[in-house]
Structure 1
Amino acid sequence: MTVVQPEPSVASVPNPAPKVAIVHEWLDTVAGSERVVQQLLLLFPQAELFAVVDFLPPGERGMLQGRKVTTTFIQRLPFARKRFRNYIGLMPLAVEQLDLSGFDLVISSNHAVAKGVITGPDQLHISYVHSPLRYAWDMQAQYLRQTGLDRGPKGLFARWLLHRLRNWDVRSAAGVDVFVANSSYIQRRIRKVYRRDALVIYPPVDVARFQPKDGPRDSFVVVSRLVPYKRVDLVIQAFRLMPQHKLVVVGDGPEWDAVSALAQGAANIVLRGKLPREELLRQMQSARACVFAAEEDFGIATVEAQACGTPVIAFGRGGALD
């Protein structure tokens, strides 16, 4: 008599956790895209983290949950700590040098170059897109105007560089297996730029923490990174014409000096810089309204404001409509 041993069931065979790599553009502050990365790290506690550069301040490194960040050669270039964005032309090359060959799953958190990492046929690459490279595509003209690069030799070089970035951006999209967009607006931009479909998964918002609170509401508030496309300058210009209304600007970034100069002499405009989360919460809870002038990808701050019972005055395009 021949005895045939039964095949082991699938459930009885141990399935090792996949090796996961999470790739983010740059780490210098904790804003909306970094909060997405934080949640990805919680979802995949075994994941390793990669970035073009890592200059995250000590007080904000808790989001990394003790992880070491593998960076690129741009981390060591001159003046990179303060001016790493000036190396945008080298970032496609830099991100392609990250060795991800030992990972089963690669998740890129992309608003510039992260999706350009090189993966193989047996690796799954999912790209969570906060935006296709903003200043290289439909926002190019606005970016060049706001940075003074719409004329002269520097402007000519900027246009040539953005042309090169567009070509690389489209080519690198072919290496992504699954696109995820943070809003229906970005879903449409992905379709327009890359001719690819994308699943919409909204970014994380801690609505349980941002709760309404009784009390006076005496000012308007802007909560934003100070970068050109956020149009904080436009909001300040508007409130200079309305001295009877107080505006509080919360946030910092490369445009701090320009925004400060614009607000100078306006007694109704207060620049608070970047605030701790508890103080930001109190500021939102006490605001008459949150003002949002950007054509934004999604806009986490607007949802946080609404969770506080604070109305939002937003530009009626982009992710704010979501």
Structure 2
Amino acid sequence: MKTAIIHDWLTGMRGGEKILEKMCRLFPSSDIYTIVWNKGRMSSEIESHRIITSFIQKLPAGTSKYRYYLPLMPAAIEAFELRGNELIFSISHCVAKGIEKKPGQTHICYCNTPMRYAWDSFGDYFSPRRNFFTWAAMSFFRPYLKWWDKSTARGVDYFIANSRNVAERIKRHWGRDSAVIYPPVDTQFYTPSPDVSSAEDFYLAVSALVPYKKIDLAVKAFNMLGKKLKIIGTGPEADYLRKIAGPTIEFLGWRDAESIRDHYRKCRALIFPGEEDFGIVPLEAQSCGRPVIAYGKGGALETVVNGETGVFFGEQTENALRGAVNRLEQMEFDAARISSHASKFSDENFNAAIKKFLTNHVPGFYE
């Protein structure tokens, strides 16, 4: 079955890109259509496919400051020509699901969230205190983006949500039902350390350094606690976070999967302060047998078991996070039990669920 895969942008390997990787294996001859592509930043699995980019790729700073072109992205995604494909599979958190299909084509969208820049997370990305002119421009375009996001949802035949949390958003913003298939965790790779004494006295955050991830909250809380916090990740907030960080905060930048696994295994706990659509990082840490301190809202409620595989805090404040850290340090956790919980989100379970969904909804698809 000739298939086109649509992805918002290819600029680094995060949760959505891991879904893309799975779909590349399922459809090894598919082409990938995307807004921009930073060549060399994706896995070999993804970059082995033919990748077609939009006109934004060629605009000034198009591959680095692509989010500033958000008002142009609907036109960019609609400009792709997908004639000749029978199946369109989009992986969307921004505009990918707005691709225009032809008669006879089936469009399935794996939705990580309705466009977060227009709906729930607008204030996290655009603030007059951070950049007044960007905020003013995006406030002007926001009604159009919300209208476009809702209207193009009608062009999708079937939605798959990455969590119950996102399924509720899809229903609220678009009025559409969706199946729920949780993203996969590589539980064969992310495993507890064979050395039970490998844990060290530091906490860990693994995240893109963007506003809605709330890494600034973790930095401020650990400044107050005076405890070690290591941060793996890159992003536009990096300079700001370094400015506010005290001496116990260490920025490690980009790290490969082996290094991230090593830090998961050695950390005292993972810090997860943002409200996520789903959140694959807490499950990777749990698969390595480490507990999670998470904001008790959003996807974390579906991946972390409070008091068994981690601890929740109820408000996104420094004091609430500090209290959760102090509570965790008074508790004992079973690494094997934590890892066993994460195994429910395995590659095998994801692959089986996706294949079953496609078999049931796409004429001519066979495992």
- Taking structure 1 as the reference length, the TM-score comes to 0.90
Equivalent residues of 1:29, 1:56 under 8 A apart: no
Aligned to 1:223: 206
C-alpha distance in 1 between matches for 2:129 and 2:71 = 17
The one of 252, 262, 266 aligned to 1:282: 262
Deviations 1:87-143 (A, max 9, x none): 111000000000012100000110000001000231000000011111211222333
Alignment-derived partner of residue 241 in structure 2:
259
CA RMSD, Structure 1 to Structure 2 (Å): 1.4
Q: Give the whole-Å Cα distance in 1 for the aligned partners of 2:259 and 2:95.
A: 33
1:53 paired to 2:36: yes
8 Å CA contact retained: 1:52, 1:94: yes
Between 1:306-315 and 1:130-139, the stretch displaced more is 130-139
Give the direction of change, closer, same or farther, for the CA distance of 1:320–1:155 in structure 2 (3 Å limit): same
Gaps of 5+ in 2: 303-367
Distance change in 2, residues 1:140/1:81 (3 Å): closer
Partner amino acid for 1:279?
S
Question: Does residue 200 in structure 1 map to residue 183 in structure 2?
Answer: no
**Corresponding residue number in structure 2 for 1:35:** 18
Q: Show the 5 A alignment for 1:144-293.
A: 144-145=126-127, 148-149=130-131, 154-213=134-193, 214=196, 215-243=198-226, 245-263=227-245, 266-293=246-273
SS at match of 1:196: coil
Q: 1:100 maps to which residue?
A: 82
Output aligned runs, 1:49-128, within 5 Å: 49-57=32-40, 60-64=42-46, 66-128=48-110
Q: CA deviation at 1:256?
A: 1.3
Distance 1:153 1:52, change over 3 A: closer
Percent identity of the aligned residues? Answer: 38
Tell me the CA shift for residue 144 of structure 1.
Answer: 2.8
CA contact (8 A) 2:163 2:278 kept: yes
Choose the corresponding residue for 1:299, options 252, 272, 279: 279
For the structure 1 residues 209 and 168, does the alpha-carbon distance in structure 2 shift closer, same or farther, using more than 3 Å as the test? same
Give the aligned residue type for 2:158. Answer: V
Q: Which residue in the other structure is 2:319 paired with?
A: none
**Equivalent position SS for 1:106:** strand
What count of residue pairs does the alignment treat as equivalent?
A: 299
1:12 is aligned to: none
The alpha-carbon deviation at position 204 of structure 1 amounts to 1.5
Flag as ranges the 4+ runs of structure 1 deviating above 6 A.
none
TM-fit CA distance, 1:56: 3.4
Residue from 16, 22, 38 that aligns with 2:5: 22
Aligned-pair CA distance for 1:148: 2.5
Whether contact under 8 Å (1:29, 1:57) holds in the other structure is no
Q: Distance in 1 between matches of 2:137 and 2:13?
A: 31
CA 281–70 in structure 1, closer or farther in 2 if over 3 Å, else same = same
Question: More displaced, 179-188 or 155-164?
Answer: 155-164
Partner of 1:44: 27
Q: Go from structure 1 to structure 2 and tell me whether the alpha carbon gap of 1:142 and 1:276 turns closer, same or farther (over 3 Å shift).
A: closer
Larger of the two Rg values belongs to structure = 1
TM-score, normalised to structure 2, is 0.79
1:65 and 1:139 mapped to 2: Cα distance? 30
Secondary structure at the residue paired with 1:163?
helix
Please give the secondary structure, in 2, of the residue aligned with 1:108.
strand
